[in-house]
Structure 1
């Protein structure tokens, strides 16, 4: 089962699509985030939700009895 951690980015009204795109591109390239949802409110605010897979490492140590 894949697990994710989420990050919400709130952008104020008046933020251009280009600026929003730049912010999301930086988060994706440098933080490993992917776009999950975008909500644009009537007043122009944007609520962007990003997600990143949680990678769990399994122990490679085996107990021998």
Structure 2
């Protein structure tokens, strides 16, 4: 650790409110990891989305939050 910053912090991630739009998704249990990754990759390629958060629950459900810059709002919403 250098510069007095805790390990694991990322510089330059200060987003002004309203700069990003978010899209919550739910991937059902039983979906393989590779299938989920493929679905999210397609959303990134076609809609400009990036992964903001992913939670894997005990029942196998994945809760995903995608984000993109608000200026890209003319692109399609995610559809899974």
The TM-score by the shorter chain falls in which range? 0.7 to 0.9
Q: Which has the higher contact order (CA 8 A, sep 6+)?
A: 1
Number of aligned residues: 55
Give the drift of 1:9.
1.3
Give the drift of 1:54.
1.0
- What TM-score does the superposition give when structure 1 sets the normalisation length? 0.79
| 1:7 and 2:23 are equivalent in the alignment | yes
Counterpart-to-counterpart distance in 1, 2:23 and 2:55? 14
The correspondence for 2:63, drawn from 47, 55, 59, is 47
For structure 1, list consecutive stretches of 5 or more residues without a partner in the other structure.
56-65
For structure 2, list consecutive stretches of 5 or more residues without a partner in the other structure.
1-15, 72-80
Q: Deviations over 1:12-42 (max 9, x none)?
A: 1111001100100000000000000000011
Structure of higher CA gyration radius: 1
- What TM-score does the superposition give when structure 2 sets the normalisation length? 0.65
